[in-house]
């Protein structure tokens, strides 16, 4: 009996010591399916040396709903550097709703509750699209440690639900639009990786390329309220690339939403420190057409279910880019004060439009170059939609005109700088594109 009392006293002293339990490796998607179970799993850890965590449970709560209490589990003791995998016996499920899912650990002897809880913004939706994952890498031809991460992301890009874009860090493939875009992250080192634009800053950049695949696989298990696509048409004669990025919202959701499009090139020969001879670079970002933060104002702050929103981009493709190896990455993202979260992404092959087979609209414009206005000579007096795109892909003008005698006057939009533009005209079910120089 005396030995039993000593054992109880020893265990009580451990339980009353200053343990510090916390959770890691718990993932909850930004969007989830209504009335469908999601398994709550985490690793239980203890940061306090000399005070092993023996008994604990994990609870969770969605919004103001009831607390789902987990079963108590006991171990021989969790010390710093160790963890215990915990799976909650009650899967999370909810009808359509928007709120915060909180998951926390309860430990006997816990004295510091400040780090017990993980919070996840979660929207449960009745209709959804398949979720794809955006994996972006910061690489450099000078970087001796980059060939292996490059090979890793090349393999990930073969997954139809993972889209890879490689931004180049101060080398011969760097472009200003890519550099400006990457500046929003703290990943100013190579190699580094950012997944789904850091998920409101919750998923920090790192160089742990051996873990990128597993993280992406987790995120593929979620869903999205929007399907995104693009149909990039490339004119092989003018080398103009024009596209509509289409966001097809399956569910009504609220937030600040933006569209963007990247042009990437595969099979690009070039030097690579520590790379094999004849090295070929893949997923090289050639242009970020929607700017560093994407195009706002196209998608309303509260979307309508089963509604399409779209934005137009265009680009004059340089001769040195091999258009047969170009793709367009289209994204829809949610922005907040905390950062950005990729809602969905797709990559899209170019559709070549050659002069010989183009059944497009033929029109004239004069003068060209122009200063204050340009006149269009159109084949009929039917109403026409006229759009003007800057060289960086941004739309500078969008209006409908009704020609008189086949002529329409287009005044120069305010604040447009001199340079090369693409003018696109849609009339009678046909589309035509011409280059226009503004002085």
What pLDDT score was predicted for residue 1?
Answer: 35
What pLDDT score was predicted for residue 172?
Answer: 97
**Where does residue 78 fall: left (phi above 0), alpha (psi -120 to 50 degrees), or beta otherwise?**
beta
The residue behind tokens 């490059």 is: 150
Q: For residues 280 and 265, is the Cβ–Cβ distance under 8 A? A: no
pTM: 0.82
- 235 closest CA partner among 431, 436, 438: 431
What pLDDT score was predicted for residue 23?
Answer: 97
What pLDDT score was predicted for residue 435?
Answer: 83
- Tokens describing residue 243: 């596209």
- 266 closest CA partner among 328, 332, 337: 328
What pLDDT score was predicted for residue 104?
Answer: 98
Q: For residues 138 and 190, is the Cβ–Cβ distance under 8 A? A: yes
* Residues of the chain with confidence (pLDDT) below 70: 1-18, 353-359, 391-393
Domains, the chain, with CATH or none: 2-125 (2.60.40.10), 130-353 (2.60.40.10), 364-438 (2.60.40.3080)
- 427 closest CA partner among 378, 377, 376: 378
- Which residues share a beta bridge with 310? 246
Distance between CA 193 and CA 97 in Å, rounded?
32
What pLDDT score was predicted for residue 6?
Answer: 35
What pLDDT score was predicted for residue 16?
Answer: 46
The residue behind tokens 């990930």 is: 156
What pLDDT score was predicted for residue 139?
Answer: 98
- Tokens describing residue 369: 């170059």
């Amino acid at each position: 009996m005396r030995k039993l009392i000593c054992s109880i006293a020893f265990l009580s002293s451990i339980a009353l010591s200053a343990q510090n339990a916390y959770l890691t490796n718990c993932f909850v998607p930004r969007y989830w399916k209504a009335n469908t179970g999601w398994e709550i799993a985490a690793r239980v850890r203890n940061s306090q040396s000399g005070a092993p965590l023996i008994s604990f449970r994990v609870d969770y709560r969605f919004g103001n709903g009831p607390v789902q209490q987990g079963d108590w589990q006991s171990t021989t003791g969790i010390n710093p550097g160790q963890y215990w995998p915990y799976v909650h016996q009650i899967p999370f499920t909810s009808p359509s709703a928007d709120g915060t899912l909180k998951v926390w650990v309860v430990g006997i002897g816990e004295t510091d509750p400040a780090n017990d809880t993980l919070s996840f913004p979660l929207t449960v939706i009745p209709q959804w699209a398949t979720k794809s994952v955006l994996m972006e890498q910061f690489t450099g031809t000078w970087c001796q440690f980059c060939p292996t991460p490059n090979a890793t992301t090349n393999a990930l890009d073969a997954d139809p639900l993972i889209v890879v874009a490689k931004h180049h860090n101060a080398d011969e493939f760097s472009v200003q639009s890519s550099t400006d875009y990457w500046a929003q992250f703290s990943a100013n080192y190579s190699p580094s990786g950012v997944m789904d634009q850091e998920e409101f800053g919750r998923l920090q950049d790192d160089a742990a390329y051996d873990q990128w695949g597993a993280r992406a696989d987790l995120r593929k298990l979620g869903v999205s309220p929007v399907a995104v696509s693009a149909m990039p048409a490339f004119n092989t004669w003018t080398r103009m690339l024009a596209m509509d990025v289409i966001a097809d919202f399956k569910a009504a959701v609220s937030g600040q939403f933006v569209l963007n499009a990247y042009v990437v090139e595969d099979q690009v020969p070039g030097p690579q420190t520590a790379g094999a001879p004849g090295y070929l670079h893949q997923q090289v970002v050639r242009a970020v057409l929607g700017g560093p933060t994407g195009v706002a104002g196209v998608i309303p702050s509260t979307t309508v279910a089963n509604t399409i929103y779209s934005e137009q981009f265009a680009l004059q493709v340089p001769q040195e880019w091999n258009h047969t190896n170009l793709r367009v990455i289209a994204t829809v993202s949610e922005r907040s004060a905390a950062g950005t979260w990729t809602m969905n992404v797709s990559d899209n092959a170019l559709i070549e439009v050659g002069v010989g087979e183009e059944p497009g609209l033929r029109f004239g414009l004069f003068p060209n170059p122009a200063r204050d206005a340009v006149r269009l000579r159109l084949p009929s007096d039917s109403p026409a939609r006229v759009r003007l795109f800057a060289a960086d892909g941004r739309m500078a003008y969008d209006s409908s005109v009704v020609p008189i005698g086949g002529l329409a006057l287009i005044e120069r939009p305010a604040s447009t700088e001199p340079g090369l533009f693409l003018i696109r005209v849609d009339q009678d079910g046909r589309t035509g594109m011409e280059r226009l120089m503004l002085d």
